[in-house]
Amino acid sequence: MSRFPDHFRAFRPSWQSPTETVRPQGPEADVSDEIAQARAQRLLSGAQAALRHALAFRDMDALHRIALQRSHFNPNQPRVPAGNPDGGQWTSEGGGVGTRLAAADKPHFGPGTLFFMLIAEPVRRLIEAYRSENGLWDLFGRKLGTVTWTRFNGKDVFGSNSYSPTYTSVDYAAAVRMRSVLLQKYPEIMNTNSIGRMPNDAVFHAETTVLLRAAGENGGTLAGRTLEVFADRQMCNSCESVLPKVGLELGNPTVIFVDPKGSTRTMRNGSWAD
């Protein structure tokens, strides 16, 4: 016999409408999940295709041709004769020392210009597809943590924070090992009094995770590599302090971090180069 009279069981709170939509159960729920997964997969595939096109366009020969075209470069344009103080420089058609294209004047393409325009948008869509596929949004549609991305050995490698559902036990073990090494080698940077506090937490952040995952795909090292890591949030103070030392321990790669606004920071040799 029920502990509650029928009139209590019939009671419905004012905030619960009798026509409230209830998530389907059984086969209907499976169909709904399949539709959502298919939609996320289409988004991911489209972003990957766009990124492949952008990366191909970034080929240095193509950029060189664009630079030459925009600078009005003419390979048949005469040079100042050798022996002249301006010898070897481009001169005007009239033979005088006219407008020259010196090395310092050549157009520069970097993350803030053509490179960023070509790469950033496909990467942003790739990261958003990764978020959608893995449910990395809160109930209000806000981002859960940071997601990072790099292309390594022909593969998309993503990074996430330790509280993300995509963070694995393998990620955690690698981060703990890295923290132990950093505590021993760099006590002037790491917090040796409370190892769970800042800036030590950087080893569990998406920026470190993507490097650890890439290294894991390459025998634990990134030596001799140059990586471009895109993040969909600004870098924190802990990462600014710790990441260069993480890089040293992974073989001292050159890593260019690109934030959502297109600003870049490059680390090598255990410090920030810019």
Mean pLDDT over 22-45 rounds to 60
Give me the pLDDT at residue 46, please.
57
Q: Which stretch of 31-40, 97-106, 150-159 has the lowest confidence by average pLDDT? A: 97-106
| Residue the block writes with tokens 């924070």 | 161
The domain limits of the chain are: 135-274
pLDDT (0 to 100) of residue 166: 93
pLDDT band at 274 (very low <50, low <70, confident <90, very high): confident
- pLDDT score, position 26: 56
Q: Which two tokens stand for residue 33?
A: 């999940």
CB of 104 closer than 8 Å to CB of 11: no
* Average confidence (pLDDT) over 203-211: 98
What mean pLDDT, rounded, does the chain reach? 74
Q: Which range (92-96, 128-132, 138-142, 252-256) has the least confidence?
A: 92-96
pLDDT given for residue 133 in this prediction: 87
In this prediction, residue 180 carries a pLDDT of: 97
At 36, is the pLDDT very low, low, confident or very high (cuts 50, 70, 90)?
A: low
What average pLDDT does this structure show over 36-43? 64
**Residue 264 confidence (pLDDT) above 70:** yes
Q: What is the pLDDT of residue 138?
A: 73
- The pLDDT value given to residue 48: 59
Query: pLDDT tens across 45-72, in order?
Result: 656 555 554 555 444 444 444 444 444 4
State mean pLDDT over 230-240.
95
pLDDT at 257: 96
Band of the pLDDT at 191, cuts 50, 70, 90? very high
Q: How confident is the model at residue 110 (pLDDT cuts 50, 70, 90)?
A: very low
Q: What's the pLDDT score for residue 225?
A: 97
pLDDT computed for residue 226 by the predictor:
96
Specify whether the CB–CB gap between 147 and 127 falls below 8 A.
yes
SS3 annotation, the chain: CCCCCHHHHCCCCCCCCCCCCCCCCCHHHHHHHHHHHHHHHHHHHHHHHHHHHHHHHCCHHHHHHHHHHHCCCCCCCCECCCCCCCCCCECCCCCCCCCCCCHHHCCCCCCCCHHHHHHHHHHHHHHHHHHHHHCCECCCCCECCCEEEEEECCEEEEEECCCCCCCCHHHHHHHHHHHHHHHHHCCCCCCCCCCCCCCHHHHHCHHHHHHHHHHHCCCCCCCCCEEEEEECCCCCHHHHHHHHHHHHHCCCCEEEEECCCCCEEEEECCEECC
Q: What is residue 173's predicted lDDT score, i.e. its pLDDT?
A: 97
pLDDT category at 80 given cuts 50, 70, 90 is very low
Question: Is residue 24 predicted with pLDDT exceeding 80?
Answer: no
